[in-house]
Amino acid sequence: MNLSRQDGPIYQQIAAVLRAELGKYQPGDFLPSEMRLAERFQVNRHTVRGALQLLEQESCILRIKGKGAQILGSLLSYPLSQNSAYSSWFEANGHNVRTSLVTKRSRLATTAEVEHLALQEGDAVLEYKTLRFLEGEAVSLISHCFALRHQLMLAPYQSGSMRDHLRSNGLELERVFSAIGARLPSVDEAARLRMAVNQPVLTVETLSRDQYGHPIELAFTVSRSDRFRYHVVM
């Protein structure tokens, strides 16, 4: 394919062509290899990388080492309100949701956990870390933290909605607050969410209480900002 140097940098022209062709692919598909793209556009691989980097910055693709450039789908939007539940909301809107348990452990409570869960300095918490998949794609990593007194109730949990598990044990949760932020992911977070370490993630810290007004769960969620967004429902 012949490209004109009078129409802007070559890598931008290549990115424009590839961008226009993204509709031919399904989310999760891969673009041709850098070598094949270089042959197609009659340029070197460095120029192709510039085009792919531009598409990655636009959240059109995700470059995965050893695999190539994967096509990303549209942003998934979640309404954040007092009683909204992540899994239930997406399932009700026709999405395939899956949650797997990554780790569970007891550890010393942080200052924030002591404050929000009404603990004493030196108390331990139970931390359950889960990975949330939407349409088969990992989009959120969640740390659920509880007072140690809930150990017996939480012991059977292996997968699925944490809120549903608590409901089955007689606890109806509602949000007290959610604090939204953004930062770069850790190496572990990027690996689990299959994203680049230089792409930002959305973070949400949420305190939930039961129907009796008792603080039950302090959760910290890390989500891919290229696949996920929140909108606050007043």
- Choosing from 25, 45, 71, the residue where a domain stops is 71
- Choosing from 32, 56, 71, the residue where a domain stops is 71
Taking only the tens of pLDDT, the chain with its 234 residues reads 667 665 678 999 999 999 999 888 887 789 999 999 999 999 999 999 999 998 887 778 878 778 888 887 766 778 887 788 888 888 887 878 999 999 999 999 999 999 999 999 999 999 999 999 987 889 999 999 999 999 999 999 999 999 999 999 999 999 999 999 999 999 999 999 988 888 899 999 999 999 999 999 999 999 998 777 787 776
Question: What are φ and ψ of residue 180, in 5° steps?
Answer: -100, 135
Tally of domains within the chain: 2
At residue 4, the pLDDT reads: 64
At residue 226, the pLDDT reads: 78
CATH, residue 45? 1.10.10.10
Q: Based on the domain organization, do 176 and 209 belong to the same domain? A: yes
Q: Based on the domain organization, do 227 and 183 belong to the same domain? A: yes
- Choosing from 17, 51, 71, the residue where a domain stops is 71
At residue 93, the pLDDT reads: 77
Q: Based on the domain organization, do 67 and 109 belong to the same domain? A: no
Q: Based on the domain organization, do 46 and 89 belong to the same domain? A: no
At residue 6, the pLDDT reads: 59
Q: Based on the domain organization, do 88 and 143 belong to the same domain? A: yes
CATH, residue 91? 3.40.1410.10
What is the span of the domain harbouring residue 44?
5-71
At residue 78, the pLDDT reads: 81
Q: Based on the domain organization, do 192 and 225 belong to the same domain? A: yes
At residue 71, the pLDDT reads: 84
> In 3-state terms, what secondary structure has residue 69?
strand
Q: Based on the domain organization, do 115 and 35 belong to the same domain? A: no
**What is the dihedral angle through the alpha carbons of 131, 88, 162, 204, rounded to the nearest 10 degrees?**
60
At residue 77, the pLDDT reads: 75
At residue 1, the pLDDT reads: 66
Q: Which of 139, 113, 128 is nearest to 215 (CA)?
A: 113
Q: Based on the domain organization, do 59 and 108 belong to the same domain? A: no
Structure-token match 């891919």, residue found: 224
Q: Which of 234, 200, 185, 181 is nearest to 59 (CA)?
A: 200
Whole-structure pTM value: 0.72
Q: Based on the domain organization, do 61 and 124 belong to the same domain? A: no
C-alpha to C-alpha distance for 52 and 4, rounded to whole angstroms: 19
